[in-house]
Structure 1
Amino acid sequence: MVDARMKEIHESGLQDDDEAACQELNRLFVASADADGLQELLDGTCTLLYMFMQWLRRTHEQGDKDVIAYVVPHLVATLRMMPKSVRPQTIPTMAALVIAAGTELSPNGWRSQYGDWTPEEMNALEATVFLIAEHINRIADDHGFAVRLIAEPLTRAEYGED
């Protein structure tokens, strides 16, 4: 889903109608999933966030920079500019998920202590993972780097390659 959204935005830009269509597709996808499928989607999304933040942490540490100081303020500012997609009350949760992942804590584990996810948090979580992936792509100066960062090791593992 993240890869498809990134390609869509980079290839054609995202218009208001496109965003509505994407949200409808996401709603249909979630509606078609059973409770286990939805939980797996959430777990996978949080795992992506964790893996992205670990890469960012290592990259920032190479330059003696604190990943939290460089990533979280930009993320929060960008999420605040998206009031149609991201409700303001979800932004602290997204910042905390990123901080958890950036300090080597599981976003899934951190979030689980606060109960079930809300529908508003789903849009915010999607936007957060997208923005973190975009941050990685900007650092690497490559629009597809974040997706390959995850996909290539998974492909090698699937085929038993080292």
Structure 2
Amino acid sequence: MVIDSRLKSIYDGKSGTDPEHQRLVDQLTASFGPGEAEALVEGACTLVYMYMNWLRTAFEKQEEDVIEHAVPSLVATMRMMPRTFSPEVIPIMAGLLIAAGTGLSPNLWRAQYGPWTKEEMNPLEAMVVLLAEYINRISGNGEDFATRLITDVLSQLD
């Protein structure tokens, strides 16, 4: 829902984060213990995996490679956002996209490099938003297609 909220603010043309919304998000995350925080990060990585899996399938139908098309576009966007994506986190985010794009679990890929750092949290969230926006844009099925994609998958679970 955080990703959906961020997308809606982008599409509504709002710059920055609504202070009240940010206060509520900060309050929620402050209440998290280590287990909940880890689950939130794993959830973000799962979204990356699901989005990249959808993109891989969509590109393969066109006989194209998801890594060749999606990753350079997303990395270029990250490079244009230096306050969110410092140069040192871009290779980590690109590696995460590539891992997911080749069918590897982003959670397991990242685990081999150690735990996530505090400095990587905002870029991770922003990357998931960029990825969802990229899907919305290329799908042509509306500004909430990426969110519907995930809710459809979740609704099929027992």
TM-score, structure 2 as length reference: 0.91
Query: Map of 1:41-60 to 2, 5 A cutoff?
Result: 41-60=40-59
User: Whose helix fraction is larger, Structure 1's or Structure 2's?
Assistant: 1
Gapped regions of structure 1 (runs ≥ 5): none
Query: Map of 1:108-127 to 2, 5 A cutoff?
Result: 108-127=107-126
Query: Map of 1:44-83 to 2, 5 A cutoff?
Result: 44-83=43-82
Q: d(CA) in 2 for partners of 1:77 and 1:20?
A: 28
1:152 aligns with 2:152: yes
Q: d(CA) in 1 for partners of 2:114 and 2:23?
A: 25
Query: Map of 1:4-153 to 2, 5 A cutoff?
Result: 4-11=5-12, 13-16=13-16, 18=17, 25-141=24-140, 142-153=142-153
Alpha carbons of structure 1 residues 76 and 26: separation in structure 2 relative to 1, 3 Å = farther
Aligned residues of 2:48 and 2:131 also touching (Cα < 8 A): yes
Gapped regions of structure 2 (runs ≥ 5): none
Identity of aligned residues (%): 49
Aligned residues of 2:4 and 2:147 also touching (Cα < 8 A): yes
Give 3-state SS (helix, strand or coil) of 2:83's partner: coil
Q: d(CA) in 2 for partners of 1:84 and 1:122?
A: 13
Q: d(CA) in 1 for partners of 2:24 and 2:113?
A: 28
Q: d(CA) in 2 for partners of 1:23 and 1:117?
A: 22
After superposition, the C-alpha distances for 1:79-111 in whole angstroms (9 at most, x for unaligned) are 111111221110000000000000000000000
